[in-house]
Amino acid sequence: MSREEARPGRVGGFRRAGGTLFAALYGQLLPHPGNNPDPDRDVYIRFHDRALAMGWLDDGVAGLWGMNDAGREHPLAVPGSSLVAWFQVGVEPVPGDRPLPVQPFLRCAGDVLARLGDLRLWTVQVLLPVQALDTAARPEAARMPSLRTAAWFDDGGPRSGTPVLVTLDGRQSPARLREEMDRLDQDVFVCEPSVDPGPPPAPPLPDHLWRPGHRVTFGGTLAEWSLDAIGWLGGFLADLSARRGVGTPLLLTVSRRES
C-alpha cells in the first residue's frame, strides 16, 4: 500500500474520528551495527505495516485507529530537542468497555523503532483525545476499563519500579487526581506528593489539536520503564479524566527521573 493510500479518509471504511492520538518520543536511537535502512521503508510505512499486521489499523474491517502521519523529524519540534520520532493517528469514539488505545499505539511505535536501533528513552509525550470516551454510556463501576489489565504488570515479581515525573495539561484538567488514584486498585503507577520541575518540553503540535491550560504535575513510581507501561498509564489517566468530567484533549508527558 502506498503512503498516499493510507491517508485519513483514504483507508477503506474509516469513519468519523473521535480525536487525534499523537506521540512524541525523546531520547537517543542508536542504530544497529551494519544496519542500512531501506529509504523506501520510512517510519510511516513501518508503523502502518506493523499496525496492519497486529490488527490495530482500521482497514475497513476493524481496528483501533486510522493512519495519519509519522516521522523522525517534525517541523514544529523545538530546535535541538532530543526528539527521536513521532506518530499521529485518528481514533473513532471508543466503545464503552475499552480504554483509549494508547498502550497498543505506543507498543506499535516501539516495535518500529526497535527495527531501526536501540532506543534510550527519556521522555514520552502523548496527546490523549479524552473526548473520544463516552463515560455517560458506562455504569459507574465500568468507567475505568484500563483497570482490568493492571495485573499484567504484577507478573514480573517484586521490583522497585522507576521514578517518573508526570504532567497533564489541557483546557480542562481532572480535579483531585492524586486522591482519586489512591482509591483505585492498581499498583502500576504509585503517585507521590506534588512536585514542580518546571514546564515539560513544548510538544510539536499545531494549535488546532491542543492548547495548554491547566497543568497538573506530580511524581510517582511506574512499575517499569517501558512504552507498554507508559501506554497503560495514558489509558488509565484518560479513563480517570473522562470520569471526572474532562471532555477535551490532554497532553500527557512522562519523563524518567533520576532516583
Question: Which tens digits make up the pLDDT trace of 143-185?
Answer: 789 999 999 998 765 567 999 999 999 988 777 788 888 888 8
**Given this model, what pLDDT does residue 118 score?**
95
pLDDT confidence tier of residue 6, bands split at 50, 70 and 90: very low
Asked if pLDDT for residue 3 goes beyond 70, the answer is no
Can you tell me the mean pLDDT for 36-45?
85
- Looking at the chain, the whole-number percentage of residues with pLDDT higher than 90 is 58
- pLDDT of 208-229, one tens digit each? 999 888 888 889 999 999 999 9
pLDDT confidence tier of residue 15, bands split at 50, 70 and 90: very low
What's the pTM?
0.89
Between these two residues, 227 and 18, which has the higher pLDDT value? 227
Q: What is the 3-state secondary structure (H, E, C) of the chain?
A: CCCHHHCCCCCCCCCCCCEEEEEEEEEEEEECCCCCCCCCCCHHHHHHHHHHHHCCECCCCCCCEEEEEEECCCCCCCCCCCEEEEEEEEECCECCCCCCCHHHHHHHHHHHHHHHEEEEEEEEEEEECHHHECHHHCCHHHCCHHHHHHHHHHCCCCCCCEEEEEEEECCCCCCCHHHHHHHCCCCCEEEEEECCCCCCCCCCCCCCCCCCCCCEEEEEEECCCCHHHHHHHHHHHHHHHHHCCCCCCEEEEEEECCC
